Structure 1
Amino acid sequence: MPAVLGLEGSANKVGAGIVRDGVILSNRRATYVTPPGQGFAPGPTARHHRGELLGLVAAALSDAKLSPSDLQAVAFTKGPGMGAPLAVVAAVARTLAQLWGLPLLGVNHCVGHIEMGRLLGPAPDPLVLYVSGGNTQVISFSRRRYRIWGETLDLALGNCIDRLARLLQIPNEPSPGYNVEQLAKRGRVLLELPYGVKGLDVSFSGLLAHLQAVAPRLLANGEATEADLCFSLQETTFAMLTEVTERALALTRASHLLLVGGVACNQRLQEMLRTMCRARGAELCPTDERYCIDNGAMIAQAGWEMLRAGQVTALDQSGITQRYRTDEVEVTWRD
């Protein structure tokens, strides 16, 4: 049974995980955290990953009680993501693969999320809602591709939430999205915000620009609190996502909705989607919180599927692709 080491580092989290025959043997992760009001830039994030990754690999091997000789391949995130962090992870993957004489597996980050969700949940062929800091897509599988039914036309939802956190100087530890979620629970005033749904696509940039323009005045005049702003952002953006996802469920007639990506941890988003799914006779399958946040195990799982299908990445094709779309991947391991 092949054991695959997976390395992830497309944004501010860097991880190493090992999967063997659908069993997660280890999953180590470190997060680059910036001060309140600041995002994470490519250069410092890449330096963080470079300092952490080899230690995470050693820890993942120790947790799995394996040595390099027990591995059959090294998988890494090829894209999409931030260029400098991706390049660090790809360089480490290439080095380890050559050092240990193992094949390389260049994994699409989005496909990694989907394959981990399929592994953990009861949904072998679901409609997928993928919401994270860099991506927002409604996806289903057809004819050896993950097809995108709808997506954001500008900002990803996680990025939108993070930028509100930055505006309000909300701490980035453990994550800005988590802190916005906790504040939103105390919100009482629902502000009217731009609602950008266009068929199966969504747009968040107008909503964010409006919030950035009115927030200082609302806070100064006591017309709204920080909690109200977080509450209003969540309710409006989650309603938009629920609308387009319901439309896609009606079109695909899927019986399961798989929720993946970092924003999938949000309990209010899960609640809204679960209500919608029940009304349509479908089941919501949110990914386990440990694995919906970027991690190495999801890259290992997608890599394991690729290895099983003989889909190996040549060394001269092992560069990164910052804009690597979900529907560009030929999914040879599914019927």
Structure 2
Amino acid sequence: MSAAETGAEARTIVALGLEGSANKLGVGIVKHVYPTGVPGDAELRPEMIEWANVRDTYNPPPGEGFLPRDVAAHHRATIIMLLNQALAEAKLTPKDLHCICYTKGPGMGAPLQSVALVARTLSQIWKLPLVGVNHCVGHIEMGRAITGAENPVVLYVSGGNTQVIAYSQQTYRIFGETLDIAIGNCLDRFARVLKLPNNPSPGYNIEQYAKRGSKYIELPYTVKGMDVSFSGILSFIEKLAKTEADKYTPEDLCYSLQETMFAMLVEITERAMAHIGSKEVLVVGGVGCNVRLQEMMGQMAKEREGKVFATDMRYCIDNGIMIAQAGALAFARGFTTPIKDSWITQRFRTDQVHVEWRT
């Protein structure tokens, strides 16, 4: 229900979001319009207006990963340009903002610290409150806002995280997760073995190779209750690629790797859906852009008479507007981060956040 429909004046929050937990640097601006005088929980789901969402990526040479110090240097060199670009796209000045939201964690230490330093500086120069945001919660809230999913089981898959999550009592509970490396990290490391380009991303290039694969190679399948493990499958397929390249094509290896790991994720996600009685799945995070993963998850959900929600590359890949989105929701409830508490943490668990904006 809009403010016009209720005859009440709307109150607005304009939030700037800064994201730099890994090799993606993002700046986003979002406007929330909250109707007033509306009973019930209408206050909790504001109208979201996207004003800016700009991003720049640090890409090392093919076959190489990225070092935290190099990523941090990229973020420091690029963030002012992106900030000016976002404000210009939104046609705003700092006086139009209500808060500055930044990624508090989890992520890589040096890049996180570089962006947090900029957030603190802007907060003091512009005299605006800070809001520290959990990166994972940012993905979830952006996914909910874009897709309209009400209360889904969330599959969060990225370079640094792999979790199956469900909401309960103002907390995003982790039902299952990786016991070692994240699925995105597994894909990235195998892409380096194959010397695939890092542009636009290693995982995207593996996906394109997998589309041309047709021969399935049996690989280790490791599901332990609600948790998964990817280190063993990575070691196994790296050995095949290096010692038996004459028997297996890169396309078939990529195809087999995707099919095996995605099947593992579908299994634990379905189990979480059965446990909480949900018919919705929301796939978020950079690996969530993968069309094959969405197809496999969609087939499972269809068999359960459910539905899969996913976003495109603008929102599933790390971005600034997801930090602005989650930060604005918290700020509307009175949450701010004092300068003295504006440190970062590489291990900020999803279930450590009080999700006060949900009932």
Question: TM-score surpassing 0.5?
Answer: yes
The one of 307, 311, 320 aligned to 2:344? 320
Alpha-carbon shift at residue 289 of structure 1 (Å): 2.3
Alpha-carbon shift at residue 334 of structure 1 (Å): 0.8
The one of 30, 33, 36 aligned to 1:19? 30
The one of 141, 146, 161 aligned to 1:120? 146
Alpha-carbon shift at residue 71 of structure 1 (Å): 0.1
The one of 208, 225, 228 aligned to 2:249? 225
Q: Secondary structure at the match of 1:105?
A: strand
Partner of 1:170: 196
Alpha-carbon shift at residue 288 of structure 1 (Å): 2.8
Q: Secondary structure at the match of 1:172?
A: coil
The one of 258, 272, 275 aligned to 1:251? 275
The one of 322, 325, 340 aligned to 1:298? 322
Instruction: Name the TM-score, length of structure 1 as normaliser.
Output: 0.98
Q: Say whether residues 1:197 and 2:208 are aligned partners.
A: no
Number of paired residues?
A: 333
Partner of 2:335: 311
Alpha-carbon shift at residue 76 of structure 1 (Å): 0.2
Q: Secondary structure at the match of 1:149?
A: strand
Runs of at least 4 residues of structure 1 off by over 2 A? Answer: none
Q: Secondary structure at the match of 1:14?
A: strand
Q: Say whether residues 1:186 and 2:205 are aligned partners.
A: no
Measure, in 2, the Cα distance between the counterparts of 1:95 and 1:212: 44
Letter in structure 2 aligned against 1:169: K
Alpha-carbon shift at residue 255 of structure 1 (Å): 2.2
Gaps (5+ residues) in structure 2? 1-11, 33-47
Gaps (5+ residues) in structure 1? none
Letter in structure 2 aligned against 1:301: Q
Letter in structure 1 aligned against 2:350: T
Measure, in 2, the Cα distance between the counterparts of 1:152 and 1:264: 16
Larger Rg: 2
RMSD (Å) for aligned C-alpha atoms: 0.7
Measure, in 1, the Cα distance between the counterparts of 2:148 and 2:79: 32
Partner of 2:75: 49
Q: Secondary structure at the match of 1:96?
A: helix
User: 8 Å contact 1:120–1:288 — kept in the other structure?
Assistant: no
User: 8 Å contact 1:129–1:136 — kept in the other structure?
Assistant: yes
Alpha-carbon shift at residue 216 of structure 1 (Å): 1.4
The one of 99, 109, 113 aligned to 1:73? 99
Letter in structure 2 aligned against 1:320: I
Partner of 2:45: none
Alpha-carbon shift at residue 218 of structure 1 (Å): 1.8
Partner of 1:36: 62
Q: Secondary structure at the match of 1:2?
A: strand
Q: Secondary structure at the match of 1:92?
A: helix
User: 8 Å contact 1:311–1:332 — kept in the other structure?
Assistant: no
User: 8 Å contact 1:126–1:254 — kept in the other structure?
Assistant: yes
Letter in structure 2 aligned against 1:108: N
Alpha-carbon shift at residue 80 of structure 1 (Å): 0.2
Measure, in 1, the Cα distance between the counterparts of 2:299 and 2:19: 33
Q: Say whether residues 1:60 and 2:86 are aligned partners.
A: yes
Partner of 1:5: 16
Measure, in 1, the Cα distance between the counterparts of 2:69 and 2:103: 18
Instruction: Name the TM-score, length of structure 2 as normaliser.
Output: 0.92
Partner of 2:9: none
